[in-house]
């Protein structure tokens, strides 16, 4: 019976210390069992400065606006690259693992290579295009070694494996503008 009483008293004292009702033993102004309305000191807050109204700043995007499909096609033409069988936003199989985070997708053939071509994706945010770069990096054995992301991160090119490094460099030059 005595062990039970000692255990209960010990438990009550431990709970009192853990839940803060015991008080601060290092502060002589606070009683051992201070059940007052505020056992803790209230911190003194500095006054909050008032702000004067100013003109509303114009928001600027964290990245530039993505190019349009027409701008990219014009850039190809300006660099002497002739495309055929250009298809905007071709259908994608429902079970395809291709990310769907793009604004526009265009497939084409390079006139100089016949049926060899590629595709590009235009994204609204760089993180969306990063998904394509990761996807094509994972499929490099199938998709080929020519996958490029623009400096802004808003365009990804994927070229067919039939391209030579020199031919792929022409496309990469166009991509560097974006």
Domain assignment present for residue 160? The answer is yes
In terms of domains, do 28 and 116 share one? no
Spatial separation of the C-alpha atoms in residues 124 and 58, rounded to whole Å: 20
- What pTM value is reported for the model? 0.63
Q: Which of 42-51, 96-105, 137-146, 168-177 has the lowest mean pLDDT?
A: 42-51
Residue 76 lies in domain: 69-175
Which residues are bridge partners to 158 per DSSP?
A: 119, 147
Domain assignment present for residue 54? The answer is no
The number of C-alpha atoms within 13 Å of 41 and in the hemisphere containing its C-beta is: 7
Domain assignment present for residue 19? The answer is yes
Domain assignment present for residue 59? The answer is no
Q: Residue 132: name the closest of 176, 80, 92 by CA.
A: 92
Domain assignment present for residue 4? The answer is yes
pLDDT tens digits along 46-67: 666 666 666 555 555 676 889 9
Question: What's the number of domains the chain is made of?
Answer: 2
């Amino acid at each position: 019976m005595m062990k039970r009483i000692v255990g209960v008293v010990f438990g009550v004292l431990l709970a009192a210390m853990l839940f803060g009702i015991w008080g601060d033993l290092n502060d002589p102004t606070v009683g051992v069992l201070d059940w007052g309305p505020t056992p803790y000191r209230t911190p003194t807050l500095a006054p909050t400065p008032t702000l004067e109204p100013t003109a509303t700043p114009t928001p600027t995007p964290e990245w530039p606006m993505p190019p349009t499909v027409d701008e990219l096609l014009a850039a190809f033409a300006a660099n002497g690259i002739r495309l055929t069988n250009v298809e905007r936003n071709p259908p994608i199989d429902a079970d395809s693992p291709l990310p769907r985070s793009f604004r526009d997708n265009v497939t084409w053939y390079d006139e100089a290579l016949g049926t060899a071509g590629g595709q590009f994706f235009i994204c609204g945010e760089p993180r969306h295009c990063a998904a394509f770069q990761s996807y094509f990096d994972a499929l490099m054995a199938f998709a080929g070694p020519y996958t490029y992301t623009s400096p802004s991160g808003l365009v990804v090119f994927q070229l067919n494996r039939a391209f030579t490094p020199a031919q792929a460099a022409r496309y990469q030059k166009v991509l560097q503008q974006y």
